[in-house]
Structure 1
Amino acid sequence: MAGTAVVVGAGVGGLATAIGLRRAGWAVSVLERRTGLERYGTAFGLHPTAQAALDRLGVGEALRGRAVPYRGARIRTPAGKVLASLPLERIERRAGRPELLISRPYLIDALLAELDAFGDVPVELGRNVVAVEALVAANDLVVGADGIGSTVRAACFGKRSGPRHVGTVAWIGIADFESGICGETWGKGRFFGMTPIEPGRTNWYTTVPGATTADELSGHFEGWHDPIPRILAETDPSTWIRYEMRHLFPALPAFVHGGRVALVGDAAHAMTPNLGQGACTAILDAGALARAVAEHGPAGLPSALRAYDAQRRRSAQRTAFASRHLHRFMTSEHTRLRNALVRMLPS
């Protein structure tokens, strides 16, 4: 084996990183504080660049069998008037493949199956890492993939950058019917989105200022165009997921520390979900880190981490910045000006 690495966190970024490092010949272990992996059924959007990265990790083909293409999505007013198209067709023309939507359980299970195929990459659940310094001392490389509240980031980078509330409550759920339309509806201070996730089901998501109960949420969308009221009425509220939207602020000055520690995914650049790029950026981080480590080898690990930081930090932080400002734009109270600007977007 080329070197030893421990990945803290078994989400999308952590599992993808573990696969990449193991393919590079490293001895890898994964530590996860939860006693079970998150498999709730939200839909991840996979940009063609992330799909290519998954292909290099060996899981692309398995995912394509369960994913659905995302096409024909529109931005609408609450009355149903189309303002613009999401740039999905343009992405497909440029990349030669469409954006895909995949259920989180399918993505997690595909990554786990690839790890299991190696036969020597333990994934230890219920491991709440506290002594990060001990991990650094015992391994050549420590990867913090432990989310927005990252223990690795706090221990190695300090607490200046940390989770910050956006001031908006987000809700997500799955309706057991196909909506017939896709895209997002932007209202005053709130929006509602619908995407396919698999045949016969619709992934939906919404943000509202301060809604705390299911009844309050439904009230915010009375009179909105079909099928939004139906989706809320026919989805069991006990299955809805509610969370306070947060992002990492301020942006980190580096994704690497001391020549032996690297951050990936939300630990490095947690962002609002408005661009739908959280999983994609984590996958791209994982691929870039694994390539840099493979190219430089264990003896060149500090150089590898510098190369990873140079390739990924500014790109990921630009995406996070754009997503945060898109959130502000989407939830603007000044709907007339915002809608006029949206109509000017290229199709």
Structure 2
Amino acid sequence: MKAIVVGGGIGGLAAAVSLRRVGWEVEVRERAAAFGEIGAGVGVMPNALRALSWMGLEDEVRRLGTPRVSGGVRASDGRWLVHLPDVGQEKIIAMHRADLHGVLLRALPPEVLFTDSEVTGVEDLDADLVVAADGINSCLRAQLFPDAPGPVYAGATAWRGVAPGPFELPITQTLGPGGEAGVLPLGDGRVCWYLARVAPAAADLDPVELFGGWHDPIPDLVASTPAVVRHDVHHLPPLRTFVSGRVALLGDAAHAMVPYLGQGACMALEDAVTLAACGGDLARYDAVRRPRTQAVWRGSRTAGRFGIELRSPVAVALRDLVFRAVPAAVAVRGMARFSSWEVPAMPTPVGSLDRVEPGGDVDH
């Protein structure tokens, strides 16, 4: 059985690694001139680590990732709202997105990787399975589901970067009025960071000015970063199905979500392993992945409403009071709600591919 994976990002490469593990012949088609990953840090949550373990890549990720012994949530003035002293390598691994991408890329032989290979349709693809992992602006999704809405602006803009350091910091999330910041330290002293702010799309904003009054070291991280990437935050309204004929949507092409739970890349890794575990049964893949990812999609939206979207001083003070009243053990259990996923059983061997007729509607 042959699969063509369209898109060479984290989700696409993970799908290729996973499908090869269960015996599929795979090609990865990337439209760019080279395989690579932009952005800054990624938190490899326990669910994502289990997916990577199934792929045989856990040890390499742990080697490149950063073990931490503390973390939590802070207010913009630096006060701890929730302090989690036991957040360590067994819980969350912080690493650069490019390092995670590299782990997946090195797990594939060069002969299955094709660059400068843009795919705009599936009719001429010689494959039993096509994996559409071509991102939030997926060309294949638009073609297969012409009535489905495209990405929607989520009301916030974000900046990301890697401060050269050296710094010695815990993993933290900071919540302030209409804004959010995150810190993911790397093992070599560098720090991946992100900022997000409620704002009109394409607004002319200066992150140094907006976050200059937040607690240390946030202003220093921003000021010392040589290259800052900015993008407006979009999400994809939930689809009624992730499959059409021999095509399976994966990652942001299927369920792009706001980043306030840090689960976007983790969901793509789950998708990849589940697709392989389903042995080509696309109806089962859809039935397993759609409820799971859409629950996390809703959770991310909820986290935004009670996080970055709160701007009035009264609402922010009440939110902070609730956070401080929550015991650390309860907070950890809340995090586990989204990261307790396990790799599905794999009863279906590679063989016949069960196709699904095209859908196209969305569930509002």
- Short-chain TM bin: 0.7 to 0.9
Aligned to 1:130: 120
Aligned to 2:340: none
Q: Which residues in structure 2 correspond to 1:76-87 (within 5 Å)?
A: 76-85=74-83
Q: Which amino acid aligns with 1:186?
A: L
Structure 1: stretches of 5+ with no match in the other structure: 294-300
Structure whose residues are more often helix by fraction = 1
Q: Distance in 2 between matches of 1:35 and 1:321?
A: 35
How far off its partner does 1:80 sit? 1.3
Aligned to 2:41: 43
Q: Which amino acid aligns with 2:242?
A: F
Which has the larger displacement, 145-154 or 77-86? 77-86
Aligned to 2:289: 312
Aligned to 1:11: 9
Q: Distance in 2 between matches of 1:270 and 1:162?
A: 10
Aligned to 2:216: 226
Residue from 55, 58, 61 that aligns with 1:57: 55
Aligned to 1:296: none
Aligned to 1:325: 302
How far off its partner does 1:41 sit? 5.5
Q: Does 1:166 align with 2:154?
A: yes
What SS does structure 2 have at the residue aligned with 1:133?
coil
Q: Distance in 1 between matches of 2:47 and 2:176?
A: 31
Q: Which amino acid aligns with 2:285?
A: Y
Q: Distance in 2 between matches of 1:292 and 1:36?
A: 30
Aligned to 2:130: 142
Q: Provide runs of 4+ in structure 1 moved above 4 Å.
A: 211-215
How far off its partner does 1:214 sit? 9.3
Which has the larger displacement, 192-201 or 138-147? 192-201
Q: Distance in 2 between matches of 1:282 and 1:132?
A: 21
Q: Which amino acid aligns with 2:135?
A: G
Residue from 260, 273, 278 that aligns with 2:259: 273
Q: Distance in 2 between matches of 1:4 and 1:13?
A: 18
Q: Distance in 2 between matches of 1:72 and 1:104?
A: 21
What SS does structure 2 have at the residue aligned with 1:274?
coil
Across the two proteins, how many residue pairs are aligned to each other? 322
Aligned to 1:253: 240
Which has the larger displacement, 31-40 or 101-110? 31-40
Aligned to 2:193: 204
Q: Which amino acid aligns with 1:36?
A: A
Are 2:161 and 2:222, in contact at CA under 8 Å, matched by a contact in 1?
no
Structure 2: stretches of 5+ with no match in the other structure: 329-364
Q: Which amino acid aligns with 1:268?
A: A
TM-score (norm 2): 0.83
Q: Distance in 2 between matches of 1:149 and 1:126?
A: 18
Q: Identity of paired residues, percent?
A: 39
Q: Distance in 2 between matches of 1:41 and 1:186?
A: 21
How far off its partner does 1:201 sit? 0.8
Q: Which amino acid aligns with 2:40?
A: T
Aligned to 2:355: none
Aligned to 2:26: 28
